[in-house]
Structure 1
Amino acid sequence: MADFTKITEQASLHNHLEQQSTLALLQGINQEDKKVAAAVGEVIPQIEKLVDAAVERFKKGGRLFYIGAGTSGRLGILDASEIPPTFGMPFDRVIGIIAGGDGAIRKAVEFAEDNTLQAWKDLQEHNINANDVLVGIAASGTTPYVLGGIREANENGILTAGITNNPGSPLATQASIGIAVDVGPEFVTGSTRMKSGTSQKLVLNMISTALMIKIGRVKGNKMVDMQLTNTKLVDRGTRYLVEALDIDYKEAELALKKYGSVREAIAKLR
């Protein structure tokens, strides 16, 4: 393993935290958080490369997989779980997998991230293949679970990407597309649930949202395929129809309930 600087383990720029006032703590955290979006901006070319490759594969029926452990795994599952309600996609097109299984979403599973073989076993349960894309997420860039999955995917001709917060780390160099977001040391030394996790969430938002737009799941700037699973979303969809078709609210609401989606209602009434 090549030497690299473990930025995620470097000492915080803030010290004597236990002696600070609540206001000083919050201002310090906010000061660090302000650095995150700029750091993400530096890796947009790599994110672009991943999105374009994913679009190409998605149009052929491929899928997007996320693997990670701990916070990184939870963030992948969060992003994947929001795709069906937001964009009306089947739940099995964007899939999040966490080391230790679904039980690890709420409670840490000891040493699950240290198993180099388990990720590939988990992926094989979904019959991952060369039409798919695998994104490994690990702030450290060294998580064995993630690296094992990336290695096997590479050997099986599957496009891989790695989201990490340590440039030059194994994940950044072994994945086909390395997305290394340098957010600097954490406010609490080594607590990668903070800036590192925030940066991962931003990158995942960009990947999945841009992918869904590019495959046609957004019209104008509206979520025309969102699932109408509660009153708030029915109201939102109704207002979309009022705007798009220049009809009154009641007529729009009836049309939405009749046709089941904003897209279908617009197609039928236009």
Structure 2
Amino acid sequence: MRGVFRDKIGKMKQNLRNINCQIISKNFTPKEFPLVIKPRFGSGSRDVRVCFNKDEFDKILSEIDIFKEDFLAENLVLGTEIGVDGVVLNGIFKNILMREKILTPYPYRQCVANIAVSEILAISLHIQEVINRLGIKNSLINADVILKDDGSVFIIELAPRPSGHYLSSTFVPLVTGVSVVDEWLNFMQNLPFDFTPKFYKQAIIKYFDFDFSVKAPDFNALKNELKIAKYEFNKQAIFNQVKDGKSIMNRGFAVLLGSDKDECVKNANELMKNFKKV
């Protein structure tokens, strides 16, 4: 979900993404910074970058092809980025899990970790408003939002699908006990279903964001010390700068538990120190 919402006869509705956003044309000149530059369509944070001045904008413009596909320039919204896994049943949004994201440094904006957080009511209420505007009746929901410092909510995007990046398949079931895809298939077949979390664990999913080749540690030897619940590592992966989902997702991940957010982050950082550069 990017840009404005429209009603059934095509007229503009009130914009729930209250920022300046436009397609980059040949003669486009930015009037304010910072800006997020990103493709109009796509996924996995492909080609999403931030620029803080005209020189940085010009550099990005020299590296993308605005004649091959549409690119957007929109105001950068500051705050905490939150990922949302949920479901809409009969027009009502139900949160399953919210995740605070840890992102790469600028200029690229790629998630390198997700930390489970308790439901944030303001986010659920805002997503419900979006669902009402779009007329969504029954669907899985994957959303990325910014929780701004003043407590207001900004929608980055919202999609009628399960989340990727090992989240709906691995992280959400480990943290909540809910397999969103299995429950959705049950719902679609008129079988018993339940999207209510069975439990809630403090956990982090950490992707291996090295920009050099590494040798993995013995995960099993560290399992108890660092509370590693699940891991995968692809030793054949190419480890270079993390620029988008494609550049990091085939490397693997580790899900680590903790008593709180700080311990989750600490355990993830300790695990990363056990990788050896090769």
TM-score normalised to structure 2 length? 0.25
> Which protein, 1 or 2, shows the higher relative CO under an 8 Å CA cutoff with sep ≥ 6?
1
TM-score, with length taken from structure 1: 0.25
